[in-house]
Structure 1
């Protein structure tokens, strides 16, 4: 979809299917600004389900638009796609990503479902400021449920259900993409539970049983999330690929019943704060006493925290991961007015998003 302001809508979310038959690369590629994909299913592709991107080079798109296809992408040559929306999309059993926003901004991903992906169900990468909201989605049976890499500023993940993946949420910095380090994303009101899945593809770094992993991220906020039932660790902050993890706020969450609830693994970390998370276990010991949110800044802490040791089961091929049940239709589909992705994401009221029960 290269034309701007296109609304691609299925008349029935579960019967209108873009099927790659395990032969084609991307299902739907959107490079036209302010365009929309809604109320349909995208499955069985060898790269991505739905790709929103400013990358217009077809060879790079064929490699997935991100990752090893460049080192890193030339952001001047490929300015970000401005304006996009995915609503009531089902993406399952695609090789890499289900719904993939890369080099794109001013968008919304909402009320969608993603499962059976060997990288992640929903991915937001390489944008600053992103000005994007990811809300009310369900991700399961993926290597990673929600993934954020070098995506920063005005980026919100709100009220998503992230369960039965191998890893629930990651927020990472790296040098494969431009615009590092990753910083200033907000995660609020998400249900991040039981990410110990033995029916999904293997995570590339072998991660398993982790609710939230922050690798080299800065100034992110995790607040009013439910994080429970993850066998290795609930929330892990660690340095990654030369990027220190600093100044993240982990506050007012309900983090309990994980292998270890809170983990900091960083060489000389400073500025991260943990407060009011209802945790019972932390690593290293005394972590939450290193400086709470609103108190004096955390002292430099040579932390070597670890999650609980777990047996990592073998993964399955994305082709054979569980197929989803029928998903809810978009309200008013197929006859509601076609609205392009203009003026998104609109006003974001994080304060109205509750802690899940």
Structure 2
């Protein structure tokens, strides 16, 4: 599909996905809300180039708040609030969909906090207490996000089977108060971490052994997130319904074709959030 828009959509208790963009390009998911999903509140998968913008959304009480899988090139995730899920944001490569490996997304200016919610559906891989996870992604930018209160890890870069993560840049985030703030668990030395504040790091000194702007080739010891026991999941249809969400200014306005979306996007326009 070419051209789509989801604006001010409220989605809850849909079993697997809230707002789902698969094999679709040229779209916007914005100012929407999703909760109670056993997979993810917002999902973007199997697109290259995606030419897709995910902005200004709130996702809570999901197994994963925002999930990006095999979705690459001109994909921008900015200004969202992923709070109180089991996992906040994931950027993945896998062989269950086409177009792996995932590459070339920007995750900027988001609040990713307290993703330790017991009143959420169980995550399929057992993930819990993770803010932003890159699993096998390539050449992604994670910048100016507030990542706090996630019991296992704030930002973690790792290698799932068959998909080594490489070239990912984690810069200028505020990562604080997590089980381990920064975790470099991938083998490639090209993943880099710089300017994320006085943070706990695994391996120790991660920002010194894998800084951005340095062409290093020495292996980096693999780090580990804090061990956290995930509580039992809540059935999706027992997650509380959300309160009423903001509506469109004129819900009766004629539809506008979603063509040539989203247009130019400047991630730099989304600053580091100042609070949760």
State if a TM-score over 0.5 links the two structures.
yes
1:250 equivalent in alignment to 2:167: no
The one of 274, 280, 294 equivalent to 2:199 is 280
The structure whose RCO (Cα within 8 Å, separation 6+) is larger is 2
Q: Distance in 2 between matches of 1:96 and 1:300?
A: 41
Distance 2:27 2:40 in 1: 18
Counterparts of 2:198 and 2:162 in 1: how far apart (Å)? Answer: 29
Partner of 1:240: 160
Distance in 2, Cα, partners of 1:100 & 1:300: 40
Q: What are the Cα deviations for residues 224-252 of structure 1, in whole angstroms up to 9, with x where unaligned?
A: 10000001100000001211111101000
Cα 1:298/1:114, change in 2 over 3 Å: farther
Alignment CA distance shift 1:180-1:194 (3 Å): same
Aligned position for 1:354: 271
Q: CA deviation at 1:341?
A: 0.4
**In 2, Cα distance between equivalents of 1:302 and 1:223:** 21
**SS, match of residue 228 in structure 2:** coil
| Contact 1:188 1:222 (C-alpha < 8 Å) held by counterparts | yes
Unaligned runs of 5+ in 2: none
Equivalent of residue 243 in structure 2, options 325, 330, 347: 325
Tell me the equivalent position of 1:72: none
Residue from 189, 202, 205 that aligns with 1:270: 189
C-alpha deviations, 1:127-179, integer Å up to 9, x for none?
00000000000000000000010000000001000000000010110111110
Instruction: Give the superposed CA RMSD.
Output: 1.1
Q: Offset at 1:273?
A: 1.0
In 2, are the aligned partners of 1:141 and 1:322 still within 8 Å (CA)? no
2:262 match: 345
CA distance in 1, matches of 2:55, 2:223: 31
The aligned counterpart of 1:186 is 106
Is it true that 1:306 corresponds to 2:229 in the alignment? no
Tell me which residue corresponds to 1:110.
Answer: 30
How far the C-alpha of 1:201 sits from its partner, in A, is 0.3
Name the larger-Rg structure: 1
Deviation of 1:280 after TM superposition, in Å, equals 1.8
Aligned partners of 1:195 and 1:209 also within 8 Å = yes
Aligned to 1:209: 129
The aligned counterpart of 1:44 is none
Question: Does the 8 A contact of 1:142 with 1:200 survive in 2?
Answer: yes
TM-score by length of 1: 0.75
1:1-357 to structure 2, matched below 5 A, reads 81-266=1-186, 268-294=187-213, 296-334=214-252, 336-357=253-274
- Please tell me whether the aligned partners of residues 210 and 220 of structure 2 are also in contact (alpha carbons under 8 angstroms): no
Return the TM-score normalized by structure 2.
Answer: 0.97
CA distance in 2, matches of 1:350, 1:251: 13
